[in-house]
Amino acid sequence: MPLLALDTSSDACSASVLTDTACFTEFELTPRAHTQLILPMVESVLKQANLELAQMDAIAFGRGPGAFTGVRIATGVAQGLALAANKLVLPISSLAALAQQAYQQLDAQKILVALDARMGEVYWGVFQVVAGQVQLQAEEQVLTPNAIELPKDVGWVAVGSGWSAYPELAERAAGLVTATCADWLPSAEFILQLAWQDYQAGRAIPAEQAQPIYLRNKIAQTTQERLALKTR
């Protein structure tokens, strides 16, 4: 049962351990300090749980979308820990983690997630709770606020930093949304809940197969170009 999760996909940095009886979490809003904090956070939550890395069943991480550097850090740290301890990994959507938080804390059944992507865009995901599990209703996207196709029905909960970063999006959705949590950022605590579902479903993968999700084609292309240069 013990699972470890970590996330550095936004300005927040977090680590969490889930056991049969409790969840231990460290969460800090620390822009540009993720590389210094994430491993001490991992050590701290393991110590709080009175467990060792070798006792984890798997290691989960926020695979994005999110800040380019942050998503790379989370992927690299998770891979390094998993390879060192011979564990499988569970890549989890940072948008789904926010939707999971809305479900757990607000009992939200329909969630609109908008995470600030900078450059006038948001990472966007539409989620609904089906049979007690948060499910993505369409592809995750990176869009300008005005390009987002909002649902037609009402009763949605809006979460994520995109709602405060782009007030025009909140204005467009005003008639559809019943509650807004614009200060929420992805947390390892809620990544764990999704990771446990994936672990039970047999979706854990070898560490070397873990891939970050950027969504932006330009960034993805640049990454591929860099990899190609390294192999020449």
The domain spans of the chain are: 3-94+186-225, 95-181
From 99, 91, 85, select the one nearest 9 (Cα to Cα).
91
CA distance 206 to 145: 36
- Sequence-ordered list of residues with C-beta below 8 angstroms from that of 81, at least 6 positions apart, any chain: 4, 42, 53, 59, 87
From 176, 184, 197, 156, select the one nearest 29 (Cα to Cα).
184
Percentage of the chain beyond pLDDT 70 is: 93
* pLDDT surpassing 60 at residue 230: no
**pLDDT value of position 226:** 39
CA distance 232 to 213: 25
* pLDDT surpassing 70 at residue 197: yes
pLDDT band at 1, cuts 50/70/90? confident
* pLDDT surpassing 90 at residue 165: yes
What fold characterizes domain 95-181? Nucleotidyltransferase; domain 5 (3.30.420)
When pLDDT is averaged across residues 96-108 and rounded to a whole number, the result is: 99
When pLDDT is averaged across residues 128-156 and rounded to a whole number, the result is: 97
Q: Residues 17-24: contacts with CB within 8 Å, 24+ apart?
A: 17/45, 17/46, 17/48, 17/49, 17/51, 17/56, 17/192, 18/192, 18/193, 18/195, 18/196, 19/49, 19/51, 22/49, 23/189, 23/192, 24/48, 24/49
* pLDDT surpassing 90 at residue 217: no
The reply to whether domains 3-94+186-225 and 95-181 share a CATH topology is yes
**pLDDT value of position 216:** 83
CATH assignment of 3-94+186-225, among 3.40.50.12160, 3.90.1170.50, 3.40.140.10, 3.30.420.40: 3.30.420.40
**pLDDT value of position 32:** 87
Q: How many CB atoms lie within 10 A of CB 102?
A: 27
**pLDDT value of position 229:** 35
* pLDDT surpassing 60 at residue 110: yes
Residue spans of alpha helices (H) in the chain: 34-48, 68-85, 94-106, 162-165, 167-172, 188-200, 217-230
pLDDT band at 148, cuts 50/70/90? very high
pLDDT band at 117, cuts 50/70/90? very high
* pLDDT surpassing 50 at residue 231: no
